[in-house]
Structure 1
Amino acid sequence: MNLIKVDKIVVKTTQWLGILGLAAVLVWGIIYFLKVQHYEQTNDAQIDAYLSPINAKVGGYIQKIYFRDNQRVSKGDTLVVIEADEFSLKQEAAAAELMSAKAKIAILMANEETQQKNIEVIKAGRMGSQAKLEQQQQEYNRYQKLLENESTTQQKFEQVSTVLKISQAAFAEVQAALIAAESKLNDLKAQRLAIDAEIKTKQALLARQELDVRYTVITAPFAGQLGKKVIQNGQLVQPGQTLGFLTNESEEKWVVANFKETQIGNFKVGQKAEIEVDAFPDEKFFGRIESLAPTTGSRYSLLPPDNATGNFVKVIQRIPIRIQLTDKGQKLSKLSAGMNANVSIIK
């Protein structure tokens, strides 16, 4: 009898467990059906954030590295120092060339001042020569009238005419000397413009060398967290080479969800979204649709599919959807770029 009772109890227990299991399946099915009616879901989603590369602006050997793997840094913190000896020598050479060009301008200014004084002297001599010429011209005119009236001799008139020609030649010589002096002054001024341009060129070269010296010290452009260190002390780096990556903590994070093309028919900007991150299964995050990609994800691949090649198999494509996280503060700080997520868009 006891065995029969035990068997009955086992059967009833099994029946009740089966009923409870079936009820649980039914409840789950109903909940899932209701959820499907109100949400479009995908597990093809990831957390994303701005990841900025830290690049070398000048080439050289690394003198010292001031960060470790996954270290948090503040804006302006020194990350890497490149040996600056070569750049310092170039800076000193550029400074010396600039000093030489400035010395030339000083000498040229002195020459201009001297030439200006020479012109003033020539102008003063021209005034005297002109006065003497005018006097000789008057003397010539007077003797010419006397000769016409036969009040003087031909010889005396010829003497006065010769003196006039000498005065005219002397005045022409002074005038030519003045023109030559002014032309030389103009040449000096033109040389000054050329030297001024040379000075600006040297100043630009010096500024460039000073920049190169400053570029040997690489600092964090903003506050954030560095990734893996891939460089070593003494390593030769080239201009533009990536030395590491830095996440920007001042910028917001977002979610990129790749929905099937059959799911996005009713999507629009501003729709609310619920996000579940695999790393934090017991916590929900919220957001809204910020934008929909203009093309499918396959179009961004290196070799986009070409359906006109002959063999065609229809494959449902996915559209990247950018979702802005509306949660703020400490809740988002624990999310890292690349984390997998499940996204539900409320219809």
Structure 2
Amino acid sequence: MNTSTKSKFHPGNIFLAVLALLALGTGIWYFTGYFLRNKRYQETNDAQVEAYINPVSARTGGYIKKVLFEEHQEVKSGDTLVILDDRENRQRVTEAEAAVDDSRAQLAVLEAGITSAQTATLVNKDQINGAKAKLVLQQADIRRFKNLIKEEAITGSDLESVQSRYDVSVSDYSASENNLKTSYAKIAELKSRRALLAADFKKKTAELELARINQAYTVIVAPYTGRMGKKTILEGQQIQPGQPLVSIVNEKDKWVTANFKETQVSGMHIGQEVEIRLDAIDNKVYKGVIEAIAASTGAKFSLLPPDNSTGNFVKIVQRVPVKIRFAPSDLSPVKAGMNALVSVKKENKI
């Protein structure tokens, strides 16, 4: 055997040849699988896990008395997060309570005045009845005395005396009627004042309720179950109404926003099943369904959407956001912001 034949079957050359064959086979297997999968699925790796991340804001201002949470701590709905110094709010509640008590007392005094005035009308009516009875009696006396004058049984001075008593009775009767009218007018006045005091009492009651609401705002609680974000506040810090204090991630509601190419979404529909693979979690395939398909491409939602009418036109494949809801499963390892690979199986067109 010559030297060239020996070098041809050298172990190193055999190893390189085997390695090349393996690489070629692996490449063929990979690209064959890729093309077969691409024929069956629409896929994109331009996808991320989303969740509601809402800021917890202060409804009232003041100094922070206590901070009762830590960064990334899991909390439940209603858990106390921050307590503010509430001394000023408590004083406002006390002041509002005193105003309500004062208004209630004024109403009670006015009601008593109305009751007294209504009782006075009964007395006035009795006075009118008495004056009327006396007036009728005086009228009878005048008629009787006039007959006696004709018979010369009495003198003219006796008739004048009776006439005077009759005139007094007429005056008393008129005065009694006027007193009754005055009592009715007083009742009407008191009732109009009662309407004003009732409105003022309602206003003071509303102010008291508002003061109690502001008092309750000094205790800031978690709006829902989730995980806290970065802690940026400390005890003793002054905050203002509406100031964001911390963000909270709602871990009970997560979904994936996948940005498919515009050429991929034509066969997709709401309710279609989806496979989700997360870069951070190996060997785990999550199931999901398409919940919504955007009405326009993502570029149209941008702050400065492209304007092709300027003449600088370069055709770029656009992306359409698709919202995908996870199927019920354990999503505790899934975090908002994780990258995902989303696969949607192509459906056969009839």
Give the TM-score of the pair, scaled to structure 2.
0.89
Aligned partners of 1:72 and 1:225 also within 8 Å:
yes
Q: What is the deviation of 1:91?
A: 1.0
Give me the whole-angstrom Cα distance separating, in 1, the residues matched to 2:237 and 2:131.
79
Q: Which residue of 2 aligns with 1:111?
A: 113
Paired residue secondary structure (2:325): strand
Aligned to 1:84: 86
Corresponding position of 1:253: 254
In the TM superposition, 1:43-58 aligns within 5 A as 43-58=45-60
The Cα offsets for residues 269-293 of structure 1, whole Å up to 9 and x where unpaired, read as 1222111111113322121111111
The residue that corresponds to 1:279 in the other structure is 280
Instruction: Report what 1:312 is aligned to.
Output: 313
2:182 counterpart SS class: helix
Which amino acid letter does the alignment assign opposite residue 306 of structure 2?
A: P
Aligned to 1:300: 301
Other-structure match for 2:266: 265
Q: Match for 1:82: what amino acid?
A: L
Instruction: Tell me how far apart the structure 2 counterparts of residues 82 and 93 of structure 1 sit (CA, whole Å).
Output: 20
Distance 1:127 1:313, change over 3 A: same
The structure-2 alpha-carbon separation of the partners of 1:133 and 1:36, relative to structure 1 and needing over 3 Å to count, comes to same
Pairing of 1:128-207 with structure 2 (within 5 A): 128-140=130-142, 146=147, 163-207=165-209
Tell me the CA shift for residue 248 of structure 1: 2.3
Task: Report the CA distance between 1:2 and its aligned residue.
Answer: 7.9
Amino acid in structure 2 at the alignment position of 1:289 = I
- Residue by residue, what CA displacement relative to the aligned partner does 1:272-318 show, whole Å, maximum 9, x if unpaired? 21111111133221211111111221222222223334433332221
Q: Which residue of 2 aligns with 1:290?
A: 291
1:65-112 per-position Cα deviation (integer Å, ceiling 9, x unaligned): 111111111222211011111111111111111111122122223322
Give the aligned partner of residue 326 of structure 2: 325
Once residues 224 and 82 of structure 2 are traced to their aligned partners in structure 1, the CA distance between those partners, rounded to angstroms, is: 15
Distance of 1:24 and 1:116 partners within structure 2? 107
CA distance in 2 between partners of 1:102 and 1:346 (Å) = 72
The Cα offsets for residues 97-152 of structure 1, whole Å up to 9 and x where unpaired, read as 111112212222332233233222222111101112223344456677x59x9657
CA distance in 2, matches of 1:272, 1:253: 16
Aligned to 2:31: 29
* 1:169-188 deviation line (CA, Å, top 9, x unaligned): 32111111111112112222
Q: Distance in 1 between matches of 2:139 and 2:200?
A: 52
DSSP 3-state at the match of 1:198 = helix
Amino acid at match of 1:202: K
Structure 1 unaligned spans of 5+ = none
CA contact (8 A) 1:285 1:327 kept: no
Compared CA separation, residues 308 and 174, structure 1 to 2 (3 A): farther
Counterpart amino acid of 2:108? Answer: A
1:179-199 superposed Cα distances (whole Å, 9 cap, x missing partner): 111211222222223222222
SS in 2 for 1:253: strand
Q: Structure 2, unaligned stretches of length 5 or more? A: none
Rounded Cα–Cα distance in structure 1 between residues aligned with 2:14 and 2:26: 18
Letter in 2 for 1:252: D
Q: Secondary structure at the match of 1:75?
A: coil
Q: How far, CA to CA, are the matches of 2:188 and 2:73 in structure 1?
A: 65
2:242 is equivalent to residue 240 of structure 1: yes
Q: Secondary structure at the match of 2:46?
A: strand
Query: SS at 1:221's partner residue?
Result: coil
- RMSD of equivalent CA atoms: 2.4
- Quote the offset at 1:18 in angstroms: 1.9
Q: 1:167 to 1:305 in 2, by over 3 A?
A: farther
Write the distance in 1 (CA, Å) between the matches of 2:150 and 2:301: 113
Distance 2:7 2:181 in 1: 136
| CA deviations over 1:221-273 (Å, ceiling 9, x no partner) | 22221010111222221112111111223x33111101111110111112221
Q: Decide whether the 8 Å contact of 1:228 with 1:244 is kept in 2.
A: yes
SS of corresponding position for 2:283: strand
